[in-house]
Structure 1
């Protein structure tokens, strides 16, 4: 009996985590094919090789040491960076794009003012032969630039689009699912994008995420941050989170170094960027792009990224104009036209590239065309911040306006506009609201509104002692234990809260969801935001009405004050 042929070996030669992520988007080309065996190796010498293979090693992929990789002949070698001793590896080599075109030049590496993707210092061997047997590019203009700078490498060029872009485009119909996972709701999701190096957003303006969080109301905007994998490698997840702690505590979503950044672009509404490639992927989705950095000497003049940043509106790094810039509707044509200068063949990268890879392997490709894998749904949203500085505009009961912009509805119900910001904002605010059990002691002691969110109490078992409070008892204790507290409340459900004021009996707050006319959509607000509005209204009136109206990010919600049901009073905490 004849033994089956041994599978052909495909080596993924990885220089950094960023390069690995690019290569992983090619894997569907080989899906279902037992004739192919995939292995990974780390090309030594990068300053950003920390945890470079962590994503594949944790999945059970087989990794070769660099000496092992050098000792073997490989049927195909795939890499997304021309740097390092790749020429020492034996086997046909395919070089793929490292980003969205050639937009960045690093003067300290190779030839001054030339991106590494165009630099003969990296693209040619010591014998002046092309490093790669196949040089994959995303757009015909990139081929022209490659031929201009390195004619021998240009002779091996193939335009095959961009596999990473195709994954993003294949995931567009998951936008609502992504936003649900992130807890975005009707808010505007603003994605900050920082590349690596001295001209990056975080290097130039490290406090920008926190400054934007202190200026943009929590109920109108959600902030997310995409950080280049090189920065994750350089800084480490622990220290990066430490540096961003104020913004994270204010609700910032920090994307993981793989895949999550692309899901945020699909879910996002606006991208605030430096000169990193992420902005061009956002432009391919026609997302509005706002520039906060110009790239300095790293940005290649005339590149698609340079043209995009020139046309983009600018954001003051102080964040003072953030609400105006981010809420403005673009009047010029969308950003997709800039991406079209960087990406060709949208949706066709794997079907274009797959046959070429199999040709180098000497095999017929599988009969089923390869399809890009849709992006994974982001992890569950971070918890709502534990404390807020609340800005409120209300009307006094006697009819005189207590603050600019207050009004009464046609049926006489009082209206209050609410904005919630981090407690450390430098903007003036009406009161501090804190979630008991999560906020710090200073915020809890200073809060005029103290609330907690009720989870169903576990049923007692026969093996342990148990003690509970009722919602009615907790509100009385909260007021007694915190002299500065003027409103104590328990959030019982998305539409019901039990509320108590000093020297008063508890009552139930019912929150009507907002039904959008003509769309069939129903919006539920965070009950804690409605409690902030109620606190402001009760403080402005001697005799509160039983029906009130608040506006949260411009959306009106009707609030009803009712005699509490026994179940509300006795809810166990």
Structure 2
């Protein structure tokens, strides 16, 4: 195609001020998919300190980015933006469209625009020389249209309720929920997403120690905690500093997903969320997740009467990590989705409606190519398995309940366990139970256990985890035992526990029954997290002792 022909093609400029605004534009971009008639350009609108990270996303994607000064010198057929702020009005376009960059308009920011007016509905940004800047306002719900009519009637006259493309994308991706959970390593655990918005009233600013509190005081076999940080907060702190600031919590097992598209994958995978007043919680509610509020009181940003305010008013209050399991079981808001209904209209229709409206502005017939939300990417979270754990154990006859925590927990524990060869030397020296999975085949299981007990005198039991269902336990005083860990089978599901947790259960039972060797074999019911399995403890035979390990 010649340069002249290319220059005659309609041009769409996607203008953004921050990573949040860019992410929403990327959710809308499929409306132009498959159409070779259109040139797509991106530009960063100056005026926000949160924009530079977004450029890196576009660079990795190979998108066509134009400097803002150059963009101002050109004339585009359509300018599409998700924020009315900054120097947006200096751009020249035959048509202009404006979309929200979140779940409605729930906050007022004291340092921007008119005092106490909702961010995104302020005439100071929506009007230029007394006239609406945008030819189209694509809103998510009729409630938003009513509020736009209240605060800026000229702009409301150009508004259309099209639904929410981000929520449509999340709902379409819910078919991949098991894949997301598997990638995160959730298993049978409860995945708790902790949501924090940006600024001084956000959870991370007010309660910086909360992620560590959760990581240290929730049993690792029952809960997995992921911290979803607002992209503006990541930009303000920088990813490096944020990881340093959260270092103790990350070492204790906290997940820190990317703040771009992966936050939505995590919400699809999550069972519940703990949130501040950020509107991300509305997406979680719309997906049917339990919402718990982390005591947002006395702030000035959240506007009363908004969908977010109503959701939080009905949500149970977080009172501490120890109370959280009971709080989630009680599910004080069993139908959180009804509170999100005032934020999201026309489910599943956002892209078709936006395609029709945007092509109307372009003066083109929409393409007939199939239109569907792009599925969310798999969350990529690097997390090494815990190599040392503090173990609480309750023995009641032949029933044992085990709860494991990071070693830094301040909770009283029964013993410590550590992965021999993976945990640090101090952690191995302080562990009563040392375990290892099959390695190089250099040892027999009994030879490895004898080596460990000789090398580390503080160790009481060496556990060779021969498979998911068989362990060799060598007790310093009571000799070798074979431990079978039988999975729980019901309703077509096979559920297993970590054999290292089973070894801790057997050790706790042996401590409570010092003459147990005289009554073997014995069957135990072992509960770890949400799963109860049967354990069979017997004298070890040659097959277990001589197993190549």
Give the TM-score category using the shorter length: over 0.9
Could you tell me which residue of structure 1 aligns to residue 414 of structure 2? 430
- Cα distance, 1:496 vs structure 2: 2.2
Matching residue within 445, 456, 459 for 1:485: 459
Deviations 1:110-166 (A, max 9, x none): 1111122111111112x1221212111101111111121112211221111010000
Kept in 1, the 8 Å contact 2:401–2:505? The answer is yes
- For residues 66 and 156 of structure 1, the distance between their equivalents in structure 2, rounded to whole angstroms, comes to 26
Could you tell me which residue of structure 1 aligns to residue 119 of structure 2? 116
Could you tell me which residue of structure 2 aligns to residue 102 of structure 1? 105
- Alignment of 1:512 with 2:486, yes or no, is yes
Could you tell me which residue of structure 2 aligns to residue 308 of structure 1? 311
Deviations 1:19-57 (A, max 9, x none): 111110012111111111212111112121231222121
- Cα distance, 1:333 vs structure 2: 5.2
Contiguous gaps of at least 5 residues in structure 2: none
Kept in 2, the 8 Å contact 1:282–1:289? The answer is yes
- For residues 482 and 435 of structure 2, the distance between their equivalents in structure 1, rounded to whole angstroms, comes to 14
1:412-561 mapped onto 2 (5 Å cutoff) = 414-455=398-439, 468-502=442-476, 505-516=479-490, 519-541=491-513, 542-544=515-517, 545-549=520-524, 550-553=526-529, 555-561=531-537
Deviations 1:302-339 (A, max 9, x none): 000000000000002x4342222122233x55011111
SS of the equivalent of 2:54 reads coil
1:271-286 mapped onto 2 (5 Å cutoff) = 271-286=273-288
Could you tell me which residue of structure 2 aligns to residue 403 of structure 1? none
Cα distance, 1:71–1:492 mapped onto 2, change above 3 Å: farther
Aligned length: 540
- For residues 282 and 289 of structure 1, the distance between their equivalents in structure 2, rounded to whole angstroms, comes to 7
- Cα distance, 1:416 vs structure 2: 1.0
Cα distance, 1:568–1:27 mapped onto 2, change above 3 Å: farther
Kept in 1, the 8 Å contact 2:177–2:269? The answer is yes
- Cα distance, 1:567 vs structure 2: 7.3
Kept in 2, the 8 Å contact 1:116–1:122? The answer is no
- Cα distance, 1:568 vs structure 2: 6.4
Matching residue within 186, 190, 193 for 1:191: 193
TM-score by length of 2: 0.94
Deviations 1:385-438 (A, max 9, x none): 2211111011xxxxxxxxxxx13xxxxxx2211011111212211001111233
More helix by share: 2
Could you tell me which residue of structure 1 aligns to residue 350 of structure 2? 349
Could you tell me which residue of structure 2 aligns to residue 387 of structure 1? 388
- Cα distance, 1:369 vs structure 2: 4.1
Cα distance, 1:186–1:554 mapped onto 2, change above 3 Å: closer
- For residues 467 and 384 of structure 2, the distance between their equivalents in structure 1, rounded to whole angstroms, comes to 16
Matching residue within 151, 155, 162 for 2:164: 162
Cα distance, 1:253–1:565 mapped onto 2, change above 3 Å: farther
Cα distance, 1:570–1:369 mapped onto 2, change above 3 Å: closer
Cα distance, 1:246–1:4 mapped onto 2, change above 3 Å: same
Deviations 1:83-126 (A, max 9, x none): 1111111112211111111101111111111122111111112x
Could you tell me which residue of structure 2 aligns to residue 54 of structure 1? 56
SS of the equivalent of 2:466 reads strand
Kept in 2, the 8 Å contact 1:386–1:435? The answer is yes
Question: Which deviates further from its counterpart, 357-366 or 1-10?
Answer: 1-10
- Cα distance, 1:470 vs structure 2: 3.9
Could you tell me which residue of structure 2 aligns to residue 358 of structure 1? 359
- For residues 234 and 93 of structure 1, the distance between their equivalents in structure 2, rounded to whole angstroms, comes to 30
- For residues 441 and 289 of structure 1, the distance between their equivalents in structure 2, rounded to whole angstroms, comes to 41
Contiguous gaps of at least 5 residues in structure 1: 395-405, 408-413, 458-467
- For residues 428 and 292 of structure 1, the distance between their equivalents in structure 2, rounded to whole angstroms, comes to 26
Misfit runs of 4+, over 6 Å: none
Could you tell me which residue of structure 2 aligns to residue 253 of structure 1? 255
Kept in 1, the 8 Å contact 2:256–2:381? The answer is no
Could you tell me which residue of structure 1 aligns to residue 140 of structure 2? 138
1:185-224 mapped onto 2 (5 Å cutoff) = 185-224=187-226
- For residues 99 and 344 of structure 2, the distance between their equivalents in structure 1, rounded to whole angstroms, comes to 14
Root-mean-square deviation (CA, aligned residues, Å) is: 2.0
- Alignment of 1:174 with 2:176, yes or no, is yes
Cα distance, 1:341–1:384 mapped onto 2, change above 3 Å: same
- For residues 547 and 326 of structure 2, the distance between their equivalents in structure 1, rounded to whole angstroms, comes to 46
- For residues 455 and 262 of structure 1, the distance between their equivalents in structure 2, rounded to whole angstroms, comes to 38
Kept in 2, the 8 Å contact 1:351–1:369? The answer is no
- For residues 34 and 235 of structure 1, the distance between their equivalents in structure 2, rounded to whole angstroms, comes to 40
Could you tell me which residue of structure 1 aligns to residue 368 of structure 2? 367
Question: Which deviates further from its counterpart, 68-77 or 157-166?
Answer: 68-77
Question: Which deviates further from its counterpart, 502-511 or 197-206?
Answer: 502-511
- Cα distance, 1:561 vs structure 2: 3.4
Kept in 2, the 8 Å contact 1:212–1:322? The answer is no
- Cα distance, 1:7 vs structure 2: 3.1
Question: Which deviates further from its counterpart, 503-512 or 421-430?
Answer: 503-512
